[in-house]
Each structure stands twice: as C-alpha cells, then as structure tokens.
Amino acid sequence: MDCKNCELKVRQFYCADCLRRHLRDFRRKIQHSATERDEQVAKAARALGTVEESRKRRAELAESQNRVEEVTVALAKLRKDNDKARERLRFLRESLATRRRNLSAARLIPVTAVDHLISRESQELSSLSDTLARARSGLVQELVEVFHVVEVGGRPPIGGKAGTKGEWTIGDLVLPVPGDIRRYPPDHINAVITHIIHFLGLLTFYLGIKLPFEVTWSGKKLGVGQPWIGAGRGTDHGGWARWSSKQPLHLSSVPSTTSNPTTSAPPISASMSESYVDAAESSQSSFTTAFAMLLYNVCYLAYTQSVDVPLSQAGDVLSNLWAVCCSGDLGRRSHETHPLLPPPTPPNFALDFAQLLQAMSAKPVHRQRAKMHRASTDGPRPVHKPQVIPEEEEGWDLVEDVDEGGFG
C-alpha cells in the first residue's frame, strides 16, 4: 500500500485471521509438494537401484570375460609347450633308435674292420695334413721370392778354412745386426723393418701361427702410418705377456741437435753415422724393447716350425726367417688346423723375453770407446753405405739402452 504522506511503497499488514489462513494454505501446499517429492525420490531410488544392479552385473561379466581370455592364452601357451615337448620327445626317440641301430651294427662289425676304418681315417687325415703342408710350403717359397730374402757376400768353408758370414737382405735392403743399427740412417732401418713386418705377417697368415706380440699401425690400417708392437693374449710363460703397452717399432729421422752451442756442428753429410746417435733415452729404450719383441716373435715362429734358435743367434732375423722357410716341418703345425698348437707360449719354449731384452740392452763398451777415440782424433768420418759395411766380429752386438741418435 502507498503512504499518504510520502507516497512510497510500504509493507502490507495483515490481521491475525488472514495470517492464519495464509499459513494454513501454505502448509497445505507444502504438504502436497512434499508428498510428490517423496514419491519422486522413491521412484529415483528404485531406478538407481536397478542401474546399480545392472552395473554390477556388467562388471562381473567383464571380469569373467577377462578371466576366460587369460585362461585361453594360458591354454594356448600350454598347448604350444606340449607340442614342443612332444617334438623333442620324438627327436630323442629317433636319436635313441638310431644309436641303437648303430650300436647293433657296430657289434656285428669285427674288430679288425673297426681298426681298418680308424687306420683309413688316420691315413686320410695324414694325407690332408701333407697336402696342407705342401700348399703352405709353396706359398712360403713364393713369398721368399717376392720379398727377395737372400744372403749376399760371405764365403763357405773351403779347404779347412772357416767360412765367413754374408749380409742378409730383404727387398735389396740390408738388415744389420742389433749392434750395427746405429751405423745406418733411420730411414733405411724403418724401410727394412717395414718389409720384415709385412713378410712376417704374410708368413704367419700362410702358416696359421699366432705370434706373442701383435703389430698395429698408427693409421689404423695395415701399412698406414708407423708400426707399434705390444703383447697380445697368452700364457705368462716366457715373461712376455705383461708387456701389453705398445712400443714404437720405428726410428725417428730427426737428427740430433744436442751438441755444444759454442761450437759449430758438423754437416750431416759429413758425419751421417754420428748424427743419429743422440735422442731421448726413453725413445731409445722404447725402440730397443720393440725390436726385442720382433726378435722374440721370430724365435717363437722358428720354434713352431721345429727350428731351434739359441739366444746368441736371436739377432739374425732374416737368417732365422730363412731357416724357418727351409724347415722340413714347415706348415705341419698350426694354431688354426690339425694338429693344433698350444697358445703362445708353451712351457717347452725355453726362450725368456727378459733374457732377450737384457741381451738387447747390453752396452758395447769397446765399440763406444773406439768410436769416441776416432771422433776425437780423426774428426768427422765419411758416410758409410749400408751395402759395403764389413762385419767387425763374429756373433752380434746388441743395441744399448742409452741415448743413441735417431731412435725415436
């Protein structure tokens, strides 16, 4: 209703009877709606109960289906395993039947027939070994001709006079004994050692021999870069297996510059043999060790082909290789074919690497003193050509471990 003074809407006022009537009507309406609400809630509850039961049934059905699938997969696997077991059982039965038949047939064969069969197989194996040995011998002879391994100079014993040794060459290059290596330029020594490495590699490949020390190249490929040598896998007999670190099997071609700075150094062309006698002590020792490894390989190869090389002749590399190539048992024993050789090195191989290295490190005092005396009295000496160097004494003098030029 509107106020007469301000004409604003104000709340209506009811009398008590009107309020009671309104409350009664409101309660009646609410009671009717509550009844309908309860009916709807009951219907929804009944519907939801039906849905929950359906969901439970579907879940139980899905779980049953998963179990059935698992059982089916397990059954298929079990059937597959059973088939494999049946196949293996059938194979074992066939093998057993075959063995029984062979055993019955063997019992019927006389002992003399069995001995005859064994003898025939042994003869065939021996014939095959002879064929392989002849084939290997032919390859080795061709290899010697290709690399032209020969002895030049020297004289055989005539009329009771002792003969003299000549110089062994490979590829027309002289390989000096260890005591004379310092008298040759490093390029010459490197070329000879490279020829020997290739020759030895092909020779062991043809003969099927595994050497104690393995040669690798700095270029990661055969013949590329500079050669290095170190022990491979093998037994500890001989004391060589612990030398697994690679050693340089080459010399440095850089001449020495360690002379007195107050005096002028002699020209290289005037003292070639003296210009390669000053290098680092560690480099010299490394090359000495590497060269001893090469000598040990040659000695072991000679042992496998029934060639005896004493310690005093271990430095004659080309002579020892020639003896190997001329051995009557060449190619009959191998690490790759029958009869098999034991891995390097067996106990009956008597040469010890420490002894060989000690012999290589022996210091030739008499030659060093003579050389120093000639250098102080005669001045620079002329260049010595490798082809005309005479042998100074019988046997061989070994490279020392001190700084002797160019041994890089």
Each domain of the chain, given as residue ranges in start order, spans 148-253+280-361
Q: What is the mean pLDDT of residues 41-68?
A: 88
Query: What is the phi/psi pair of residue 152, to 5°?
Result: -110, 145
Residue with the two structure tokens 């063995």: 99
Contact between 181 and 279 (Cβ < 8 Å): no
For 282-336, write each residue's pLDDT tens digit.
Answer: 555 688 899 999 999 999 999 999 999 999 899 899 999 999 999 988 988 888 8
Q: What is the pLDDT of residue 66?
A: 93
Among 335, 231, 235, 343, residue whose Cα is nearest residue 292: 231
Average pLDDT score over the chain: 78
**Cβ-count burial 230-261 (b if 16+ within 10 Å, e if not):** bbeebeebbebbebeebbbbbbbeebbeeeee
Q: Which one is predicted more confidently, 291 or 49?
A: 291
DSSP string, 276-324: TS---HHHHHHHHHHHHHHHHHHHHHHHHTT----GGGTT-HHHHHHHH
Please state, in angstroms and as integers, the Cα–Cα distance from residue 382 to each residue in 131, 268, 337, 385, following that order: 54, 10, 53, 9
Domain over 148-253+280-361 is classified CATH 1.10.418: yes
- What are residue 152's DSSP bridge partners? 167
Contact between 361 and 400 (Cβ < 8 Å): yes
Residues ≥6 apart with Cβ < 8 Å to 389: 167, 174, 176, 180, 183
For 127-164, write each residue's pLDDT tens digit.
Answer: 888 888 899 999 999 999 999 999 888 766 666 666 66
- How far apart (Å, rounded) are the C-alpha atoms in residues 187 and 273? 13
- How far apart (Å, rounded) are the C-alpha atoms in residues 116 and 122? 10
- How far apart (Å, rounded) are the C-alpha atoms in residues 207 and 231? 20
3 state DSSP class of 252 = coil
For 367-407, write each residue's pLDDT tens digit.
Answer: 443 343 344 444 443 333 333 333 333 333 434 343 333 33
Q: What is the pLDDT of residue 108?
A: 78
Q: Which one is predicted more confidently, 389 or 172?
A: 172
Burial group, residue 176, by CB count within 10 angstroms (0-12, 13-18, 19+): buried
Q: What is the pLDDT of residue 63?
A: 92
Q: What is the pLDDT of residue 126?
A: 83
